[in-house]
Amino acid sequence: MKKITMQELLPFIEEAFVNNKTFTIPITGTSMRPLLICGRDTVTLKRCTEKLKKGDLPLYRRKDGTFVLHRIVGFDKNGNYIMCGDNQFLKEYKIEDSQIIGVVTEITRNGKTFSVD
């Protein structure tokens, strides 16, 4: 079975958001362990309609094109986001609102769905 990339999914995510719908994606990677585990968990995203807050889990696109789901751990003096994976210690700086694709509203684990609110 062909693996679908985030780049290929992006138009479908954007279409869902335009129609005020959510979009669910599986977790890949290890940067958000132990909260999110590859092969076990999925997250449901919604379009961002306001400034995100510390603790939120946005899906964003780095300037190099990489898609990342990390936690907001703070803000710089210009109001840009500071991000870090729960399983990482290096913070990522200068993430702008324009890079944010969506924010996690729900986590599904072993068939049970949990709100992040």
pLDDT (mean) for 37-48: 96
Residue-level pLDDT at 113 = 98
| Consecutive H or E run containing 16 | helix 6-18
Task: Compute the mean pLDDT over every residue in the chain, rounded to the nearest whole number.
Answer: 96
- Cβ(105)–Cβ(57) under 8 Å? no
pLDDT reading at 59 higher than 80: yes
Residue-level pLDDT at 1 = 73
pLDDT higher for 117 or 54?
Answer: 54
Residue-level pLDDT at 61 = 97
pLDDT (mean) for 1-16: 93
Residue 2 pLDDT class (50, 70, 90 cuts): confident
Residue 108 pLDDT class (50, 70, 90 cuts): very high
Residue-level pLDDT at 77 = 97
Report the C-alpha gap between 117 and 89 in whole angstroms: 25
Long-range residue pairs from 3-7, CB within 8 A, at least 24 positions apart, any chain = 6/67, 7/65, 7/67
